[in-house]
């Protein structure tokens, strides 16, 4: 009998790379398009599943830590790690339309460790995230957006009975005050620091343009629903671990809230 050859993961990856190079040079155009289409579909599916897989692994860890040690510092470190891991990931909703999954970890972390750890957690996660997945030039004041977002979640959700209204308000305040105002001011600051005062003035003047406001608020209703569903799944685990508010939550949308969110979404999409 022939002995079965067992290959490790690395040799398989190398073989796949070599086959990809060879087939890419010799296959007809229609064959390449089939592989490209499959790659795009698989990439979208992977982008959607990876955040869910990470959360599925972290949730039992949170429950175990809360039950055995109850050390808030460990939980904070875990939330920071989750926040950094989710930074490059997004849930695709359509062409050029996706939800950044890092907001899920930011909101949950704010509910657990509150405002005391909010500032160091925001600074660490923003800095480490940029080191691992750099985007453009690093400008330290941008960490203020992370701090502001975390503090807004703290004000709306920390040590309070979770409700859909609180979640919606937190997302609205972040979309408007952080994304529309604070972020634009920091961009102006960056251009002024780089010696480009004209572009800095444009950033300030364009802060309250209708197009920019609608662009930043178009995600607000969708993000509110996604964040509410996420917290509804995770909060029973964290409450059993005595990390968040116990008891029944109000994370159910009323009919009026659903109608208002739907109207806002439709209006914003039409205006865009």
Domain membership of residue 12 (yes or no) is no
Convert the pLDDT of each residue in 70-105 to its tens digit.
556 677 777 888 888 888 777 776 666 677 888 888
Residues forming a β-bridge with 90: 100
Domain around 155 = 38-271
Token output for 39: 């790659």
The pTM (predicted TM-score) of the whole model is: 0.69
3-state secondary structure the chain: CCCCCCCCHHHHHHHHHHHHHHHHHHCCHHHHHHHHHHHHHHHHHHHHHHHHHHHHHHHHHHHHHHHHCCCHHHHHHHHHHHHHHHCCCEEEEECCEEEECHHHHHHHHHHHHCCCCHHHHHHHHHHHHHHHCCCCCCCHHHHHHHHHHHHHHHHHHCCCCCEHHHHHHHHHHHHHHHHHHHHHHHHHHHHHHCCCHHHHHHHHHCCCCHHHHHHHHCCHHHHHHHHHHHHHHHHHHHHHCCCCCCCCCECCCCHHHHHHHHHHHHHHHHHC
Domain membership of residue 136 (yes or no) is yes
Domain membership of residue 147 (yes or no) is yes
Convert the pLDDT of each residue in 33-55 to its tens digit.
777 777 777 666 666 566 566 55
Convert the pLDDT of each residue in 229-252 to its tens digit.
888 888 887 777 777 766 666 677
Domain membership of residue 31 (yes or no) is no
pLDDT of residue 45: 66
Domain membership of residue 23 (yes or no) is no
Domain membership of residue 142 (yes or no) is yes
pLDDT of residue 69: 45
CATH of the domain at 73: 1.10.1760.20
Domain membership of residue 4 (yes or no) is no
User: For residue 145, which of 126, 158, 130 has the smallest C-alpha distance?
Assistant: 126
Convert the pLDDT of each residue in 114-151 to its tens digit.
787 777 888 888 888 888 777 777 888 888 998 999 99
Q: How far apart are CA 188 and CA 91, in angstroms?
A: 29
Q: Count structural domains, the chain.
A: 1
Domain membership of residue 243 (yes or no) is yes
Q: Confidence band (pLDDT; 50, 70, 90) for 67?
A: very low
């Amino acid at each position: 009998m022939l002995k079965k050859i067992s290959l490790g993961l690395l040799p398989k990856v190398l073989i796949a790379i070599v086959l990809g190079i060879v087939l890419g040079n010799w296959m007809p155009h229609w064959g390449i398009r089939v592989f490209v289409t499959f790659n795009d579909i698989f990439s979208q599916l992977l982008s959607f599943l990876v955040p869910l897989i990470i959360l599925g692994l972290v949730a039992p860890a949170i429950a175990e830590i809360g039950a055995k040690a109850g050390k808030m510092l460990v939980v904070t470190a875990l939330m920071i790690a989750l926040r950094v891991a989710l930074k490059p990931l997004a849930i695709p909703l359509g062409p050029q339309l996706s939800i950044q999954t890092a907001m899920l970890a930011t909101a949950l972390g704010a509910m657990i460790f509150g405002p005391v750890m909010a500032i160091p957690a925001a600074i660490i996660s923003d800095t480490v995230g940029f080191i691992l997945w750099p985007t453009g030039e690093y400008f330290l004041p941008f960490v203020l957006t992370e701090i502001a977002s975390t503090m807004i979640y703290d004000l709306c959700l920390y040590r309070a009975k979770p409700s859909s209204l609180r979640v919606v308000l937190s997302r609205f305040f972040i979309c408007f005050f952080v994304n529309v105002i604070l972020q634009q001011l920091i961009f102006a600051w960056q251009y002024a620091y780089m010696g480009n005062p004209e572009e800095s003035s444009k950033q300030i003047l364009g802060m309250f343009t209708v197009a920019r406001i609608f662009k930043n608020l178009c995600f607000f209703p969708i993000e509110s629903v996604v964040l509410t569903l996420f917290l509804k799944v995770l909060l029973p685990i964290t409450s059993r671990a005595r990390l968040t508010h116990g008891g029944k939550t109000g994370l159910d949308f009323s009919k009026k809230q659903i109608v208002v969110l739907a109207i806002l979404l439709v209006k914003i999409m039409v205006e865009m």
